[in-house]
Amino acid sequence: MNENQSPQPAGGTGFLHELQSFLTFLGSLWGLLAGISVFFPLSNVLLEVIPMRPYGEDGGVYNHILPSVIVALATVVTLFVLLSTFVARARFRNPHFARAAVRKARASFALGIFALLGYLVLHQVYAQYAWSEWNWGSDDPRKLLVEVPLTLAYIAFFSLVTRAFVLLGMIEYFRGEGRRARNSES
């Protein structure tokens, strides 16, 4: 076992212990926020804050990659970020790592905002120039030169913001766990 893994109970109870730990984390305020952040990409489908309509709809630019596929990919990646950070939770008990994790959370959030800004700028340029200036007609494969980076920027935004929430959530959760342990001893 390496330092990034939690100790596992013997026998078949390891899975149940991991599930209980994960659900306990999700029950905390920061865990709840981290868990909700996994579904942020789905919320954009309802709220339409970030433009991502298919070609042919008003303001739509996606011709080859379906927006529903992009949302599904973003949701899976954010879930992976949540789970992979939780699996490495033992590191958060180290105060030095916790301080570094705060910096990583800030950097993830900032990079996520830059990914969103990049997405919005690229989307606007693509919407404005692909047909009129660049003469990229319907089903032109050159559209993938923009749709793939748009997809990556969209996924990067949500996964980086989720990472920021999860890192902060884990720090706060384990800080509270230490306080709970000290209170139970007294």
Q: Please say if the pLDDT value at position 10 is more than 70.
A: no
Give the angle 8-24-22 at the CA atoms, nearest 5°: 50
When pLDDT is cut at 50, 70 and 90, the band that residue 177 belongs to is low
pLDDT of residue 110: 98
* pLDDT at 58 (0 to 100): 78
Q: Which 8-state DSSP code applies to residue 62? A: B
pLDDT digits (tens, 9 = 90+) for 123-166: 999 988 888 888 888 788 999 999 999 999 999 999 999 999 99
pLDDT tens figures, 71-129: 999 999 999 999 998 888 888 888 888 889 999 999 999 999 999 999 999 999 998 88
Q: Residue 81's pLDDT is what?
A: 94
pLDDT at 12: 62
Map tokens 């996520």 to a residue. 112
Residue 55's DSSP bridge partners are 57
Counting every residue written for the chain, the total comes to 186
127/147 Cα distance (integer angstroms): 11
Quick one: pLDDT at residue 100?
Answer: 92
Q: Is the pLDDT of residue 1 over 50?
A: no
pLDDT at 181: 58
21-70 confidence digits (pLDDT tens)? 888 888 887 788 888 888 888 888 888 889 888 887 877 889 899 999 99
Give how far Cα 18 sits from Cα of 14, 28, 30, 174, Å.
Answer: 6, 16, 18, 15
Domain boundaries defined on the chain: 12-185
